[in-house]
Amino acid sequence: MAEFTLDPQLEADSLPVCELELCTVRLAKDANYPWLIMVPKYAGLEELVDLAKQDQHRLTDEIAALSTALRAVTGCDKLNVAALGNMVRQLHIHVIARFESDKAWPGPIWGKVEASSYEDGKADQLISGLLAALSKK
């Protein structure tokens, strides 16, 4: 069986956050939206249905844990959760904190505005907050 490797595009566009039982978790390099990317650590997955049933359930649990942590840390108005994969085929799930004041609200974030870099230390602050919220579980 092939060894898991993170798609180069996902790696380039994100920062490491943590490792969960099933997924590696990354923070998208776009300060416009607090945006996590979850990637199940199996090679060759493209679709949710490619996961074994028990891993589908584990993924749901991990999505819920990350969503809860992201909402607690950001105080967002809405959470968007999606597995699209049109640009990057490797199975990955987006968990995005949305605010009624964000630049794309109420529409989708993709293609609305150019990605914005995090100010010095802000990504690290967000990651630290997420890790603290996750550890309370």
130 located within any domain? yes
Residues 6+ apart with CB under 8 A from 30: 115, 116
Domain that holds residue 61: 8-106+114-135
Instruction: Give 82-116 pLDDT, tens digit per residue.
Output: 999 888 999 999 999 999 999 999 999 988 899 99
Does position 31 have pLDDT exceeding 80, yes or no?
yes
- Listing DSSP states for 81-118 in one string gives EE---SS--S--EEEEEE-TTSTTTTS-STTTS---PP
3 located within any domain? no
What is the predicted pLDDT for the residue at 61? 98
Count of domains forming the chain? 1
Q: Which residue do the tokens 């300060």 mark?
A: 31
CATH number at 67 reads 3.30.428.10
Q: Quote the pTM value.
A: 0.95
